[in-house]
Amino acid sequence: MTPALGMFLLFVLITLVITWWAARKSQSAAAFFTASRRITGWQNGVAVAGDYMSAASFLGIAGLIAFYGYDGFMFSVGWLVAYLTVLLVVAEPLRNAGKYTMADVLAYRLNPRPVRAMAALSTITVSTFYMIAQMVGAGALVALLLGSSHVSYQAAVIGVGILMIIYVVFGGMLATTWVQIIKAILLMGGTILLSLLVLAHFDWSLSNFFNAVTHVTYHDKGELVTKNFLDPGLRYTAANHGALDLISLGMALVFGTAGLPHILVRFYTVPDAKTARVSVVWAMALIGSFYIMTTFLGFGAATIVGRDHIASHGGNNMSAPLLAQALAGDIFFAFIAAIAFATILAVVAGLTISASTSFAHDFYTAVIHKGTERSPGEEVRVARITAFFVGAIAIGVAILLGKDANVAFLVALAFAVAASANLPVIVLSLFWKRFNTAGAVAGLATGLLASLVLIALSPSIMKVDPPTVIGAARHLIQRPPIFPLENPGILSIPLGFLGAILGTFLRREPEAEARFAELLVRANTGLGAEKAL
């Protein structure tokens, strides 16, 4: 047994004990969906950070910086700044006016059935896309980290899928929360340790470190080149509409984070809006420190390990683990690998619970059965069954796609849908009296469609590959892209808002306008908000 496998199993064991403990407390609906609303501010803040910082952050951004220098670091900035939208606009009103899901807030003064049906569709779309990206990444990563001779891609995907199903089906929100908290603490610990080791490598001198970053040597298309990695332009250039693509990505992050269903449901787990606010502040402290430290992870990998070595040892996603190996040997490599594994598990568990809550609460109970449970506990039972199927489908799709599948765009798609479909209707329903059911349905539909279509026409799907690229790694449509940017946000977000506003003007809905006063008072004072159990 390799040290990496040993640490994986230790983490799995700890999380299973937590699930067993949580299972006894997760019987009622409020307990299953919201951990009885008794998570404290710091706990929820750490859990939000654990829910949010996916493998794409830990491994992906370190890799982007190691390969593209400054352009990779620019990615880091948006992930934190986006939380200002969550803090200033969404978290507190949502906690005050909702119960289990984002759709609760929309359904307050609108006709619940069409609105909840559309919101559930958008929630489930965001969650499944994001989850498939995570699962494919997880499989490839676990197989790579443990060595394919020990664990195959398929076995890794099935393992991750089964664990996430166990956490959610048995432990509900309480187990998911604690898996996320432990993961966030491990991730922060590992990142701090790695950053200190990088600094120690440069004799604790920041100026030595930054001087090394100014001349990084690597092979580019067979030629040996030396570049200043602190200068922008290694990835985003005028030729590929670099600035526009970055602005578009920034919009998707700044407006999308506040519409991600698995982040929004976390605010229902705290006792009141003030605690929700405290938890965003905790999350911002952790997420910000983490992304600042990607400076050391990414640039450290570029200077200490080198782009050539990373490229020949598993590609840019392996930058952080390879850096750990270069600095402190195999045991530390195993530790960082185990953290990456924990990271994926915590995120997929969060996605599964938000998708199944939305299906059970918004679609099954509210749309199919017109808002009443036919028997006590039905909603939780349906959510558990949904979590099982969501997990099974994610395993199946990830195995079908295979580990070389080009799935990075699915994360961009999830953020684009969240920013273009979810956020416009949340904001308009909270702040615009005239807003109505037609507007919400039209806004959700336009945002969802615009994101899907624009991604399908973008270089993520449409691109001519050289013949050396084979199999699932090839782009789906072998033609030049119609939409030039990788991130559709710059166009799809305005379209989502436009759809919602035009839809609203199609008709008047006096009932929706009449209940605006109630929603406004609830959202701003917390009067009548759901209480902790």
Partner 1 sequence: MPPDNPKLPQDPTPIVGAATDITPLTHFGPKPPHERTAAEEAGTINWEAIAASARFKELLRAKRRFIIPAMIVFIVYYFALPVLVGYAQPLMEKRVFGAVNLAYLFALSQFFMAWIIAALYVRAANRFDRQARAIIAKDSSAR
| 494 touches partner 1 (CB under 8 A) | no
Q: Using CB under 8 A, which of the segments 47-55, 70-78, 170-178, 493-501 binds partner 1?
A: 70-78
Segment interacting with partner 1 (CB under 8 A) among 48-56, 277-285, 361-369, 452-460: 277-285
φ, ψ dihedrals at 180, nearest 5°:
-65, -40
Q: Would you state the structure tokens that stand for residue 449, as one six-digit string?
A: 């469609």
CB 359 → partner 1: shortest distance, Å? 23
Q: Which stretch binds partner 1 (CB under 8 A): 48-56, 113-121, 236-244, 467-475?
A: 236-244
Does 74 interact with partner 1 (rule: CB under 8 A)?
A: yes
Helix (H) or strand (E) holding 353: helix 319-357
Indicate the residue among 116 and 277 with the shorter CB distance to partner 1.
Answer: 277
Contact by Cβ (8 Å): 412, 464? no
Q: Tokens 């166990």 appear where?
A: 166
520 binds partner 1 (CB under 8 A): yes
Write down the least CB distance from residue 112 to partner 1, Å. 15
CB of 48 to partner 1, least distance (A): 13
CB-based contact 396:154 (threshold 8 Å): no
| 207 touches partner 1 (CB under 8 A) | yes
Binding mask 88-117 for partner 1 (x = CB under 8 A): xx--x------x------------------
Three-state DSSP at 149 gives: coil
Across-strand partners of 327?
none
- Quick one: which segment of 288-296, 302-310, 332-340, 408-416 binds partner 1 (CB under 8 A)? 288-296
CA 101 to CA 98: how far, in whole Å?
A: 7
Would you count residue 225 as binding partner 1 (CB under 8 A)? no
For 58-205, list the strands marked E by DSSP.
Answer: none
Q: Rule CB under 8 A: is residue 250 a binding residue for partner 1?
A: yes
> Cα(489)–Cα(251) distance, rounded to whole angstroms?
6
The yes or no reply on residue 280 touching partner 1 (CB under 8 A) is yes
Measured from the CB atom, is 105 or 349 closer to partner 1? 105
Residue with tokens 């990695």: 229
Q: Residue 13 burial (CB < 10 Å; 0-12/13-18/19+)? A: exposed
Residue written as token pair 């099982």: 388
Question: 296 near 197, Cβ under 8 Å?
Answer: no
Q: Is the dihedral of CA 342, 345, 350, 353 positive or negative?
A: negative
Q: Point out which residues bind partner 1 (CB under 8 A).
A: 70, 73-74, 76-78, 80-81, 83-85, 87-89, 92, 99, 207, 210-211, 213-214, 230-233, 236, 238, 242-244, 246-247, 250, 254, 274, 277, 280-281, 284-285, 288, 291-292, 517-518, 520-522, 524-531
